[in-house]
Structure 1
Amino acid sequence: MQQIKDYSGSVHGGLGHLLHNYCEENGLPISAKLASIQQAERFDFSIWREILNEIYEVHPQPALGLEIAQWVKPQHLGIIAYIALSCDNLAEALTRYHEYHRLIYDGTPLAVDLEQGVFSVRWEDLPMHLSTQITDEIAMALLVEFLKRYAGIEHLHIQEIHFRFPAPKNIAIYERFFQSKVKFSQPHVKLTFPIQLLQAPIKQADQTLQKLLMQQAQDLLSRLPNNTQIDERLQQAILIGIQRHNYQIQTVAEQVGMSVRQLQRHLQNQGDTYQQRVQEVRKLLAIQYLQDPYLSLHEISLLLSYSEQSAFQRAFRQWMKMTPQQWRIQHHIRT
């Protein structure tokens, strides 16, 4: 791959909250730079590196990036934590992570490979001055924590972990964290595990997020104008379809146990169309997502399966006669 020149990335604002929480819980000083990003939706990757270096200077712990990653909570990850719970297996969760990882951590390009019975996730090369041992540690550790906690895969069998930096004195810290063989001074930062693990089911272990999704489903069902059994199944199928970016009428009709023609006739008898039902679900989900101050409008548009943020904003204005930003201001949602 061609070397990246003058690469400038950014970091999800929730990771700034993660560092703030870590410092508070460990009695570390909150630097002016760390305090200045607490209201930021995103901030420069260079500031991320600098704050991590500041923390290391006052708290020079070995494998600091691994230690920080263990404090991660769903709100620090934003959209990825929501999407994880809509996946069926590890393959789907990793596909989503690959699609959206830059929304969390736009520090290094991510590549995935399948070869010789092994699946690998690899961070591509960057000039050495743009990454550090700590940024590499936390990038890898956040992915592993995401898979274990929010994809619910308790026994994540990792074959090998590769880091670019030289081997530290205490390699055992890394082997305990990853429960795997760890190699240093490697060409790439990389994680590998058996292809068979891709079929590992998502257990939805995080009760907070699972409860949120269940509340969404129940709220949607309770607001149906015609609360029949068919309508309940239809609303659930549309909800799941939107979360999985697959809500075409053919797919949803099959989940409801009807043909497309039967579903269209059912909706026609109620004076509705399929697209109206989809927009109804989107509207209710949008209002719930807007109440989460950690989700940006771009992330919410992705969660609602809009290809562009502008499309979401136009739809919201039609629903509510105001913009999403105005709705948040009116309801005192601080972002």
Structure 2
Amino acid sequence: MKLNTFAQGFVSSAYMRILFEYLKNQGIDASKLLNEPTPDEVDRVLIRYPLQRWVSHLQCAAARLGDPLLGLHLGKTVTPAHFGVIGYIFASCPTLGASLLRLQAYQRLIQEVEQGALEAPIIDGSDLVLKWPAGSSGEHGRLHLEFSMATLLQFSKCISSKDVEWKQVSFINPGPSSPNGYRDFFKCEVLFNQAVTSIRVPLHSLTVPLKNPEPILVALLERQANEFLNQLPTENEFVMSVRRCITSQIHEGEPELDSVASKFNITPRTLRRRLDQCDTSFRVLLEKIRQQLAKQYLLDPTLQLSDVAQLLGYSEQSTFQRAFLRWTGLTPNAYKRSV
């Protein structure tokens, strides 16, 4: 069994709640359609879903609904309440500009996409430009990108005291045969096949006051959000690259130090030394990746334990079960019952 290997990453549990709500309103049992347990109604900031799973669910829902513009239609239903603490931070700022500038600071609590993080906002003439590089490009990422941009637009509408003007929306993906649906939705110029996904907002729009500015509340909520950020894993670029390499090889069997080192054109000894300088090791990274993936795969009701063991590069199911018990103190089946 082999999984698709597009951009790695995670999205907030809020995304899944939004999709479930939308499908329910369309008269569809989302849990049955997606083979996914219904997410908690209460916001769980640190509960995240693998990007690959989220994109797969979007594609499944779009096919069931016969709606190629599902990303836009889904984004139109978003409210600050869906995102809990983060949503209320954005909604309680004094102006739209203050809210948008916080987007980069807290984006990891919303979505974390490999090579797709929001870059620092830049001023270009009379516009503010927000750019997302190619982390979720390609057809597999189209619905996700469109949902993300639609969510940002809808969020701005919800929290602003008057209509906000957007100047341009650009997508890295190829455009449809008829882009009218996009132009009607965003009410501005929409470009496709661009180098990056981006939005342009006139600088004067940044001064639009929000409906409910609460500076004291923002300060309190930001302390809480920063605590959440501190609980997310952080690694330097080299370690992240090694993690990606291990992850890409793990479905084919147990990754070897030599094969990973060859991908970086360095010797195994050099790889071992550089990881040691980062206060980690190849074995530690492999164990962490397996543990993280195991917890994700065990939530998939379509996978048997033998499938999970194979996806993690174990030749025997019993070896995986012993490793999982060592990591968590629970057997895989006990873990599945506990979540």
Give the TM-score normalised by structure 1.
0.58
Change (3 A) 1:187 1:307: closer
Residue 12 of structure 1 and its aligned partner are, at CA, apart by 0.9
Change (3 A) 1:37 1:117: same
Contact 1:122 1:191 in 2 (8 A): yes
Change (3 A) 1:114 1:131: farther
Query: For the residues of structure 2 that align with 1:60 and 1:307, how far apart are their CA atoms?
Result: 38
Residue 36 of structure 1 and its aligned partner are, at CA, apart by 2.4
Deviation track 1:110-160 (CA, whole Å, cap 9, x = no partner) reads: 1222121211111111264595211110011111111111x3253111111
Residue 306 of structure 1 and its aligned partner are, at CA, apart by 8.4
1:140 partnered with 2:149: yes
Residue 6 of structure 1 and its aligned partner are, at CA, apart by 7.4
Tell me which residue corresponds to 2:171.
163
Residue 99 of structure 1 and its aligned partner are, at CA, apart by 1.0
Contact 1:78 1:104 in 2 (8 A): no
Query: For the residues of structure 2 that align with 1:48 and 1:136, how far apart are their CA atoms?
Result: 12
Contact 1:86 1:244 in 2 (8 A): no
1:243 partnered with 2:220: yes
Residue 194 of structure 1 and its aligned partner are, at CA, apart by 1.2
Query: For the residues of structure 1 that align with 2:6 and 2:71, how far apart are their CA atoms?
Result: 24
| Aligned-partner residue type, residue 66 of structure 1 | L
Contact 2:96 2:208 in 1 (8 A): yes
Tell me which residue corresponds to 2:321.
none
Query: For the residues of structure 1 that align with 2:60 and 2:127, how far apart are their CA atoms?
Result: 37
2:89 maps to which of 83, 99, 105:
83
Residue 7 of structure 1 and its aligned partner are, at CA, apart by 4.7
Tell me which residue corresponds to 1:234.
none
Note the aligned Cα RMSD (angstroms).
2.9
| Aligned-partner residue type, residue 153 of structure 2 | V
Question: Structure 2: any 5+ residue segments left out of the alignment?
Answer: 233-338
| Aligned-partner residue type, residue 55 of structure 1 | A
Query: For the residues of structure 1 that align with 2:28 and 2:228, how far apart are their CA atoms?
Result: 41
Question: Structure 1: any 5+ residue segments left out of the alignment?
Answer: 205-209, 214-236, 246-299, 311-334
Query: For the residues of structure 1 that align with 2:30 and 2:202, how far apart are their CA atoms?
Result: 41
Query: For the residues of structure 1 that align with 2:180 and 2:90, how far apart are their CA atoms?
Result: 30
Query: For the residues of structure 2 that align with 1:117 and 1:88, how far apart are their CA atoms?
Result: 21
Change (3 A) 1:244 1:28: closer
Give the TM-score normalised by structure 2.
0.58
Query: For the residues of structure 1 that align with 2:205 and 2:106, how far apart are their CA atoms?
Result: 21
Change (3 A) 1:34 1:189: farther
Query: For the residues of structure 2 that align with 1:99 and 1:241, how far apart are their CA atoms?
Result: 14
Tell me which residue corresponds to 1:19.
19
Deviation track 1:49-79 (CA, whole Å, cap 9, x = no partner) reads: 0100110121121321000111223332222
| Aligned-partner residue type, residue 91 of structure 1 | G
Residue 240 of structure 1 and its aligned partner are, at CA, apart by 4.1
Q: Alignment partner of 2:204: what SS?
A: helix
Tell me which residue corresponds to 1:293.
none
Counterparts of residues 1-335 of structure 1 (less than 5 Å): 7-32=7-32, 33=34, 35-36=36-37, 38-39=39-40, 41-107=47-113, 108-111=116-119, 112-126=121-135, 128=137, 131-149=140-158, 151-204=159-212, 239-240=216-217, 242-243=219-220, 301-302=224-225, 308=230
| Count of residues in Structure 1 that have an aligned counterpart in Structure 2 | 220
Contact 1:86 1:243 in 2 (8 A): no
Identity %: 23
| Aligned-partner residue type, residue 147 of structure 2 | I
Residue 163 of structure 1 and its aligned partner are, at CA, apart by 1.2
**Which 4+ runs in 1 deviate beyond 6 A?**
none
Tell me which residue corresponds to 2:278.
none
Change (3 A) 1:127 1:94: closer
Query: For the residues of structure 1 that align with 2:29 and 2:122, how far apart are their CA atoms?
Result: 41
Query: For the residues of structure 2 that align with 1:36 and 1:187, how far apart are their CA atoms?
Result: 37
Contact 1:13 1:42 in 2 (8 A): yes
